[in-house]
Amino acid sequence: MGSDTTRPLAGKAILITGAGTGIGRAAALAFAEAGASISICGRRLSLLEDVAAQARAFDVPVRFRAVDVADETAVQDWVGDASTAFGGIDVLANCAGTNAPERTWSNTTMESWNELIATNLTGIFICTRAVLPTMRSQHNGLIINVSSMAGVHPSTVSGVAYGASKFGVVSLTGSLNLEEWTNGIRATVVCPGEVSTPIMDKRPNPPPPQARAQMIQPEDMGATLVFLANLPPRVVVEEILIRPTVRSF
């Protein structure tokens, strides 16, 4: 029998971080619509419950758990639960991320710096390291890391800590491809420009609704991640840069 083109990811097991809102939420729903079994995590359980309910409308297995991606023990427990329940892990989508209103050299505090690095960079390291043993044993796996255009070009809008963390994500992804290709593991870093997510509310001057409508939308990112998951194991897209057509935000 041929594959179901309406559910191209049926039988695949996909883990998504930061799935309560924004890009992670859109990715979770897009993967579920494509037929994948998903396990989602985020910090706020109530948001995850809502996403899980919507994902289950696509008649796929859905698991969820409140997890701080910077908590190594919690991450390992989440990954272990998913691997046992699904019998493996095909894709990890690292979507968790944050920023702070105070983001210049003059007002970035150590507390803010540590929080952003922990979530945006260390969290990706922890989550990726947690799935590697399973992917190595399968000799197959895809890791998708959501960085930012601020991880390619320094940005005063995005800020000091956010930009540094996102540059780090690009480097982490590159090192994965250098080391893990012999184990059948591929990694892609996705670097979007402005995406209309709740993180925009943390800007010192949040953009108005008309500007947000012209930005990349979360569902655009969800579709991009599904595209990557649909590629055959012989193909690795190392980096994707995505910009809104309009650039005046």
One digit per residue, pLDDT tens: the chain, 249 residues? 345 778 999 999 999 999 999 999 999 999 999 999 999 999 999 999 999 999 999 999 999 999 999 999 999 999 999 999 999 999 999 999 999 999 999 999 999 999 999 999 999 999 999 999 999 999 999 999 999 999 999 999 999 999 999 999 999 999 999 999 999 999 999 999 999 999 999 999 999 999 999 999 999 999 999 999 999 999 999 999 999 999 766
The pLDDT assigned to 249 comes to: 62
Residue 249 lies in a domain: no
- Residue-level pLDDT at 139: 98
Tokens standing for residue 94: 């690292």
Whole-prediction pTM: 0.95
- Structural domains in the chain (count): 1
192 phi/psi in degrees, rounded to 5:
-85, 155
End-to-end CA distance of the chain: 49
| Residue 247 forms part of a structural domain | no
Residue 2 lies in a domain: no
Does residue 167 form part of some domain? Answer: yes
Whether 39 is in a domain gets the answer yes
* pLDDT at site 91: 98
7 domain residue, yes or no: no
Choice among 31, 64, 86, 162 that is catalytic: 162
Question: Does residue 194 fall inside a structural domain?
Answer: yes
Name the DSSP class of 199: G
Could you confirm whether 162 is annotated as catalytic? yes
Domain span at 19: 13-242
pLDDT at residue 3 in the model: 55
Max CA separation in the chain (angstroms)? 62
> Does residue 4 form part of some domain?
no
Q: How far is CA 103 from CA 100, 109, 112, 158, 204, in A?
A: 6, 9, 9, 7, 9
- Tokens for 148, please give them: 């930012």
Query: What is the C-alpha to C-alpha distance for residues 24 and 197, in angstroms, rounded to an integer?
Result: 10
**Can you give the CATH number for the domain in which 129 is found?**
3.40.50.720
Strand partners, 242: 192
